[in-house]
């Protein structure tokens, strides 16, 4: 049975190996991803704004009657 410090050492060795397999995105990939995120957030924001307006109007009509 392995000692706990051997398990910890093995864990960090595996993390280090996986870390060196990672690659950084290029500038073009980073710009493309940023545009996708900004556009998606804008669409989501507009959807939430429109839903809020509709729900507020419906509730306003329901309360005044």
Instruction: Give residue-wise pLDDT tens across range 22-39.
Output: 999 999 999 999 999 999
Residues 1-30, mean pLDDT to the nearest whole number = 91
Q: How far is CA 36 from CA 46, 54, 55, in A?
A: 15, 27, 28
pTM of the entire predicted model: 0.63
Cα dihedral: 39, 36, 31, 27 (round 10): 170
Average pLDDT over residues 7-13: 93
Q: Yes or no: say if 25 and 33 are a contact pair by the CB < 8 Å rule.
A: yes
Confidence band (pLDDT; 50, 70, 90) for 1?
Answer: low
Residue 38 CA, distance from chain mean position: 12
Domain definitions of the chain by residue range: 4-64
Structure letter (DSSP) for residue 23? -
Q: Distance between CA 49 and CA 41 in Å, rounded?
A: 12
Q: Is the pLDDT of residue 3 over 90?
A: no
């Amino acid at each position: 049975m392995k000692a706990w410090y051997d398990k910890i050492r093995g864990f960090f060795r595996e993390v280090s190996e996986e870390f060196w397999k990672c690659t950084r995105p290029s500038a073009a990939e980073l710009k493309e991803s940023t545009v996708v995120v900004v556009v998606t957030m804008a669409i989501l924001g507009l959807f939430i704004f429109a839903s809020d307006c509709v729900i507020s109007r419906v509730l306003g009509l329901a309360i005044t009657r």
